[in-house]
Amino acid sequence: MTLQPKGFVDEMRMVSMKLHTREQAREGEKEVKGPEERSVSKWNPTVDGYLRFLVESKSVYDALEGIVDKPDFPYYAELRNTGLERSEQLGKDLEWFKGQGYGIPGPSGPGVNYACYLQELSEKDSPAFMCHYYNYYFAHTAGGRMIGKKVAGKILNNKVLEFYKWDGDLKQILQNLRDKINKITLGWTREEKNHCLEETERSFKYSGDILRLILSPA
């Protein structure tokens, strides 16, 4: 039997898992500081806060999806149409909330901030950009889904938003993206890989600022 060599995604995952708190994930090692780092079952979400979270998240997905679609970055073309795109789904969800009579806040907070940072990184520092790309999409399919379920149970009558629905087999979609990232990073030097991994903490910081909105007061 030949052992499959481990790809770079395994390294990215290992660094990310350690940056979770024990309350967030079993493999987590970080101490709880912010309210979003507590177990999701202890959260007291508000609809207004959740809407703010969805709006800011859409700014980030708009940026990520715009960046990989730009023909002047052929380097990112492999990351197009992965099946994990969320911008359109979030647009539909925001329309649904509007139909329910909620006012949709404008994007002006941490998502816009993050989107600007991602735009800059994508042009200047692709290993660091890849770190954010990986973490943002994978986080949503892991902890993000858990959050969606718990929050819907608490404040949305268990309504499943489009944000949490994928076309096809999510496991396979994720594996295809892992394979792609492993292929893209195969030619990277150790320095580029380390630089990418070092960006993980910043990716948690930006995402944490957006997640925390779910818990903001009405």
Contacts with ligand HEM by CB under 6 A lie at 13, 16, 20, 24-25, 36, 40, 135-136, 138-139, 142-143, 146-147, 174, 203-204, 207-208, 211
In angstroms, give the least distance from the CB of 155 to ligand HEM. 16
Reading the block at residue 206, the tokens are 């930006």
Long-range CB contacts (within 8 A, 24+) of 94-101: 94/51, 94/54, 94/55, 94/58, 96/161, 96/162, 97/51, 97/54
Please state the closest distance from residue 103 (CB atom) to ligand HEM, in A. Answer: 26
- Closer to ligand HEM by CB, 94 or 139: give it: 139
In sequence order, the 6+-apart residues with CB closer than 8 A to the CB of 174 are 84, 138, 141
Nearest residue to ligand HEM by CB is 143
Largest CA distance in the chain: 60
Tell the smallest beta-carbon distance from residue 218 to ligand HEM (Å).
Answer: 20
Which of 30/102 has CB closer to ligand HEM? Answer: 30
Pairwise CA distance, residues 119 & 167, whole Å:
27
Angle between helices 190-198 and 170-185 (to 10 degrees): 130
- Closest to ligand HEM by CB, 135 vs 185, is 135
Cβ proximity to ligand HEM: between 8 and 136 the closer is 136
We find the least distance from the C-beta atom of residue 210 to ligand HEM, in angstroms, to be 9
Q: At its nearest, how many Å lie between ligand HEM and the CB of residue 145? A: 9
Nearer to ligand HEM, 46 or 102 (CB): 46
Question: CA-CA distances (angstroms) from residue 64 to 80, 138, 185?
Answer: 10, 13, 18
Q: How far is the CB of 40 from ligand HEM (least distance, A)?
A: 5
Smaller CB distance to ligand HEM: residue 14 or 160? 14
Which candidate, 89, 34, 60, 79, places its Cα nearest to that of 216? 34
Q: Are 94 and 59 in contact (CB under 8 A)?
A: no
